[in-house]
Structure formats: structure tokens, C-alpha cells
Amino acid sequence: MATAEERQMILRMVEQEKISPEEAARLLAALGPAEDQDTVDDEAAPGAGRSLHIRVADTMTGRQKVQVRIPLHLVSWVFRLLPASASGELEPLRAAIGAGRVGRIVDVVDEEEGRRIEIFIE
């Protein structure tokens, strides 16, 4: 099992453009599941995150389909653009941002569609 620190190191290498997102996806997959996927970096200071990072990958090929970074100060504006019906689904994300959490917030694999969706606060 991989530690959050190991995963963060890989994400930092992508941010610093030392490795590609595709290489990072392969490294993260090779690390296996996180020690505790429900927790994020509790040592981070509140408000430490600067961006919301959304990745969608093809589970068969590991190839990135979507990779988006949104500055956290714009996320509340983006939430207003979404339909009211999405409000309940966004509550865990809003709570994580409000609490200043950093790290993986969502990791969902859709076997039917062959997609893995990950949302991080970095």
C-alpha cells in the first residue's frame, strides 16, 4: 500500500513537469491503493490547497482523458454554474475545501464506462 506522501511526491513531479501525467498515472497504479483512501493529508494547514485537480482516465489503457486544474478561489463560482440537483453530490467536496483539506478527495472507478475519476485538492 502506498502512503499519501509517496502519492504527493508523484503529483509534485507532474506539477514541476519532471514527469508527464501519463507517467504519473502509471506510477500511481503501480503503487497500488493508498493506505487510507478516506483520509487526506491532515498535517496540511487549513487553506493550504491552491487548486482543484480533476483527472479522468481510461481504466483499460491508463490514458488520461481529462485533466483540469481550477484555482480554488474560482471553485465556488463554478459551483454556482452547476444545476441545483448536483448540490448534494458536491457537499463532500465543499466541506473538504472549507476545512482546508489537501490530497485526494474523490477516487471513483466506473467499471461500466471504463473510467477512473479522481479529484484532488493541491
Q: Give φ, ψ of 40 to 5 degrees.
A: -120, 180
Q: How far apart are CA 67 and CA 69, in angstroms?
A: 7
Quick: pLDDT tens for 74-104.
Answer: 887 777 777 777 777 788 888 888 888 899 9
Q: What is the pLDDT of residue 39?
A: 39
Q: How confident is the model at residue 31 (pLDDT cuts 50, 70, 90)?
A: confident
pLDDT tens per residue, range 41-67:
333 444 457 889 999 999 989 899 989
- For the stretch 14-26, pLDDT in tens is 778 888 777 777 7
Coil, strand or helix at 105: strand
CA R_g for the chain = 14
